[in-house]
Amino acid sequence: MEKVVLAFSGGLDTSVCIKLLQEEYDKEVVTACVDVGQPEDEITRPAKVAREMGMKHYTIDAKEEFARDFIFRAIKANALYEGYPLSTALARPLIAIKIVELAKKEGATTISHGCTGKGNDQFRFESTIRSSSSCNVIAPIRDLNLTRTEEVEYAESHGIPLPSDKLYSIDENIWGRSIEGDILEDPMVEPPEEAFTWTRSTEDAPDEPQVVELSFEEGVPVALDGQNMAPLKIIEACNQVAGRHGIGRVDIMEDRIIGLKSRENYETPGAFLIINAHKALEQLTLTREELKFAETISHTYSELVYNGLWHEPLREDLDQLLDHMQRRVSGVVKLKLHKGSLRVLGRKSPYSLYNEKAVSFEDKDLDQREMAGMVKNYALQAACYQKVCKKD
């Protein structure tokens, strides 16, 4: 029997996939859950379900790698897609890479995932699998065009242990938590408070503001309030502190790869804090030309990640450029967190391009008179246009 490695989350889709792969596709199934910072029970549950269903199962801890090699790159790029800090999108290629590594180790030539044919993840998984292996891909839910109700029926009739009924479809990793489905599918319905677990509501956030200092080295956060932390730790600490103050809720109409619009809610407190602080430090340390170009990079980078093109060479090219550009984005940003609002209070850097003396009203070294000629001819083209084209 041919061996298949299934990316297994323990949710409805992938649980159904196990049985479908065995019965409809006649495969031997090995399951694996890649830990990118899901809640504890989303790591232990798949292991338990796999055991109950007689499966060989792996748990692969990829949290450090996710923080260091994926999230830190996204920070340098200020990566946001339509206002969403790309949590799910960023983790998918890493999960696929880990599954490919396991397939090689297990001698499997086929990989399976539980994505439907409507979402983005099918693109992200498959593009990464195909660009890093010659494995075949089976997507049973998409292949059989199954609805959720059909999946539940199949699970019940085949004795598949189902996850406890969750109201929403949730995807969580250390960079963010995404909440969709159920009543949230109506874009006019306000998300109920119980949908959120990482962030407090504005009402419940502490009355007292909190001031924090976030230190950066070469474009990435290295210390919170003077305490040095490794990548994973600092992201977790930022999630904690910003979440407590109700920072980082995002509610958007998102454009999926296939063109469907979907209503998405995110909790990304750490990402919100870090990216805003990072941008404040860039304003101090990068030139106007660099800042302008960084916007373009950010846009393109985010689109590549969202669209599942992690292995596209342009993404690597942009990373190289960013690594070079970000060498000077080091320093400290002071921020105030209060009832859902985040305000930059100050910033400093050894690479600051701010010339306090020159910009001062009291300075005479920068001779104002030298500017007269430059100012006089400044809007040359606009002046020509107004005179030539708007004569009357």
**Buried/exposed code over 33-63 (b: 16+ C-beta within 10 A; e: otherwise):** bbbbbbeeebbebbbebbeebebebbebebb
Least separation in angstroms between CB 94 and ligand ARG: 13
Q: What is the 3-state secondary structure (H, E, C) of 292-357?
A: HHHHHHHHHHHHHHHCCCCCCHHHHHHHHHHHHHHHHCCEEEEEEEECCEEEEEEEECCCCCCCHH
Residue 169 appears among annotated catalytic residues: yes
Q: Strand 341-348's sheet: what is its strand order?
A: 227-228, 220-224, 210-217, 331-338, 341-348
Minimum Å distance from CB 49 to ligand ARG? 19
Q: Which stretch binds ligand ARG (CB under 6 A): 95-103, 142-150, 168-176, 362-370?
A: 168-176
Strand partners, 180: 169
**Of 131, 132, 169, 262, catalytic:** 169
Tell whether residue 110 is a contact of ligand ARG (CB under 6 A): no
Taking the complex as a whole, the smallest distance from the CB of residue 106 to ligand ARG amounts, in Å, to 27
Instruction: Please pick, from the candidates 9, 14, 78, 88, the single residue that binds ligand ARG as defined by CB under 6 A.
Output: 88
Q: Does 170 contact ligand ARG by CB under 6 A?
A: yes
268 is a contact residue toward ligand ARG (CB under 6 A): no
Q: Tell me the window of 32-40, 136-144, 166-174, 213-221 that interacts with ligand ARG (CB under 6 A).
A: 166-174
Q: For the chain, give me the number of helices (H) and strands (E)?
A: 15, 14
**By CB under 6 A, which span of 61-69, 169-177, 191-199, 232-240 interacts with ligand ARG?**
169-177
Number of residues that bind ligand ARG (CB under 6 A): 10
Per-residue tokens: 15: 């649980």
Q: Which residues contact 227 (CB under 8 A, 6 or more apart)?
A: none
* 121 included as an active-site residue: yes
DSSP assignments along 50-88, one per residue = HHHTT-EEEEEE-HHHIIIIIIHHHHHTT--BTTB--HH
> What span, in angstroms and rounded, lies between the C-alpha atoms of 31 and 59?
9
Supply the minimum distance, in Å, between the C-beta of residue 291 and ligand ARG.
27
Residue 116 found at the interface with ligand ARG (CB under 6 A)? no
Exactly one of 42, 171, 213, 282 binds ligand ARG (CB under 6 A); that residue is 171
Nearer to ligand ARG, 151 or 254 (CB): 254
Q: Which stretch binds ligand ARG (CB under 6 A): 17-25, 165-173, 357-365, 379-387?
A: 165-173
* Size (the chain), residues: 392
Catalytic positions, written as ranges:
13, 92, 121, 169
Q: Which residues would be at the binding site for ligand ARG (CB under 6 A)?
A: 88-89, 120, 169-171, 178, 180, 254, 264
